[in-house]
Amino acid sequence: MAPTWLGLPARRGPEKFPAAARRALADSQLRRNLRKATTTIRTRRAEVVAELEDWEQLRAAGKAIKDQALASLDGYLEQFERAATAAGAQVHWARDAAEANAAVAAVARAHGAREVVKVKSMVTEEIGLNDALAADGIAAVETDLAELIVQLAGDRPSHILVPAIHKNRSEVRELFLQKIGGVDPALTDEPHRLAAAAREHLRRTFLAAKVGVSGANFAVAETGSLVVLESEGNGRMCLTLPEVLVSVVGIEKIVPTWADLEVFLQLLPRSSTAERMNPYTTVWTGVHPGDGPQEVHVVLLDNGRTRVLADEVGRQALRCIRCSACLNVCPVYERVGGHPYHSVYPGPIGAILTPQLVGVENASSLPYASSLCGACYEVCPVAIDIPEVLVHLRAEVVESKPHRTAESTAMQAMAWVFGDERRFAAAQRAARLAPLSGLVPGPLSPMTRWTSARDLPPIPAESFRAWWQRERGGAPEGGGA
Ligand code: SF4
């Protein structure tokens, strides 16, 4: 079966991360945009997190709640379905992207809608909903400002929270002048003027739309409620104005009780937008006569999540609340942006989630898109040990390769050398002669690719082991070299 990439049209193919990252690195404007944006967001996040003395306890509570939900996910999902149905919602189950897209399209068709308005949603990007609806003759209009920018540009999001992080203000101004009809030619690149132009463009669409489409940040099993957090108010318009609302919800979004939300409503805004409180938090439970959409659908989506759940180490990725804090501290993401990850989930969370959702054999370069510095784990509000999962996935990548690679052969040889004291001492003696044999850096060395971006320290004239023997006599404790 051809590899599938989350949110990426199949025709683009599974380009490896290193090749795409190399191209991104050559774009100095992109690097400037990314450095400015990530530095600003992570500095603000650190400030607001430092205000809470019990941040680490909140983090532990968030982790515990998510782990509890994942441990009994089947039961909580059924509880959610019962509660949501009792409140008037219609619940659909989707095994994969095709089933979820078909469910949304069927609702839109049933109401004769040729256009739907969308709240910013990662999961609908993941399943390629816009393309699927377009194939059915239904236009999906993004209403989040950054998503709208990406859509107008025919581009792809490059950040979970700030999808147009790779574009600066003057690029957005140019785009609006070209793509939005009736925009004042005197439009400047001041943020409030750009926002006003987008608002005017969207207002007409909001008022005409019959069907709204959303994702959800949380789904409360106890009450059957869905929760969306957003900053612009466009989400509230999509969730309340149309007659019909369809929400696509990944099954990992479940939290057991209403009280659990208290923890996440503190963790998420500080970690994502560096705000103490979220500007717009919309909660709805089924249908309320005369108030908001009168037909509410919930599509519960698997799309590889149960496979992730089956992996004891990797399942912690399902705790993710998509705050994007890990992206903003990642030295790799800061330099290359989101596009080289070839997934709607970029950065550290993408490096562990995408390979698990699509299979490591289909995304084998992503677990290596990390320096393993651990900054992502430090900031993650639900304490996902991303480096642990990266190392775990790297082992799976190695095991999945049918043939031995030069690297795996070299590693096996190293293990053989390091496994015996005499072999190790002999290797050290040989290494000192290596300049003659071309094994250390040089134009003809087989290590040239590795050393082109790293410094290999010079091999000392005397090993630590030899020094110890000369100075103290005998071997150092623990057999170190
Ligand atoms: S892995 Fe953690 S830090 Fe990264 S987006 Fe998910 S919750 Fe946020």
431 in any annotated domain: yes
* Structure confidence at residue 162 (pLDDT): 74
105 with 132: CB under 8 angstroms?
yes
**Do 338 and 394 share a domain, yes or no?**
yes
What amino acid occupies position 25?
Answer: L
Residue 432 and residue 346 share a domain: no
Of 402, 433, 451, the last residue of a domain is 402
- Find the residues whose C-beta lies inside 6 A of ligand 1: 271, 320-326, 349, 379-382, 384
User: pTM for the complete prediction?
Assistant: 0.85
Distance from C-alpha of 267 to C-alpha of 59, rounded to nearest angstrom? 7
Instruction: Note whether 349 and 428 are same-domain residues.
Output: no
Q: Among 385, 379, 349, which Cα is nearest to 41's? A: 379
Residue 478 pLDDT grade (very low, low, confident, very high; cuts 50, 70, 90): low
Residue from 315, 354, 384 to probe ligand 1 pocket by mutation (most atoms less than 8 Å from CB): 384
Q: Which pairing describes strands 90-94 and 244-250: parallel, antiparallel, or unpaired?
A: unpaired
Residue whose CB lies within 8 A of the most ligand 1 atoms, among 382, 385, 390, for a mutation test:
382
- In this structure, the number of other CB atoms found within 10 A of the CB of residue 290 comes to 6
Smallest Cα–Cα separation from 120: which of 85, 87, 157, 92?
Answer: 157
Reported as a single tens digit per residue, the pLDDT across 370-397 is 999 999 999 999 999 999 999 999 999 9
Cα–Cα dist 392/396, whole Å:
7
Token pair of 423 as six digits: 């072999």
**Domain boundaries, position 352:** 1-50+328-402
Write a three-state SS string for 195-228: HHHHHHHHHHHHHHCCEEEECCCEEECCCCEEEE
**pLDDT (tens digit per residue) in 82-127:** 999 999 999 999 999 999 999 999 999 999 999 999 998 999 999 9
Do 120 and 247 belong to one domain? yes
User: Ligand 1 centre from 10 Cα, in Å?
Assistant: 26
Residue 319 CA, ligand 1 centroid: distance in Å = 8
Ligand 1 atom closest to the Cα of residue 160 is 5
The answer to whether residues 388 and 271 belong to one domain is: no
DSSP string, 377-402: HHH-TT---HHHHHHHHHHHHHHH-S
Pocket test for ligand 1, best of 67, 266, 271 (most atoms within 8 A of CB): 271
d(CA 375, CA 433): 39
Taking all residues of the chain, what is their mean pLDDT, rounded to a whole number? 89
* Statement to judge: residues 353 and 364 lie in one domain: yes
| Mean pLDDT calculated for residue range 321-350 | 95
- For the chain, the domain total comes to 3
Strand order in the sheet with 295-301: 90-94, 295-301, 244-250, 211-214, 115-118, 139-142
Asked if residue 334 and residue 253 are part of one domain, the reply reads no
Q: Is the pLDDT of residue 27 over 50?
A: yes
d(CA 286, CA 302): 21
Please give the distance, rounded to the nearest whole angstrom, from the Cα atom of residue 231 to the centre of ligand 1: 18
What the block records as the tokens of 91 is: 């619940």
**Domain identity same for 222 and 258:** yes
Residues 237, 245 contacting (CB under 8 angstroms):
no
Element (H, E) at 377: helix 375-379
| Residue 290 contacts residue 96 (beta carbons within 8 Å) | no
Whether 225 and 357 map to the same domain: the answer is: no
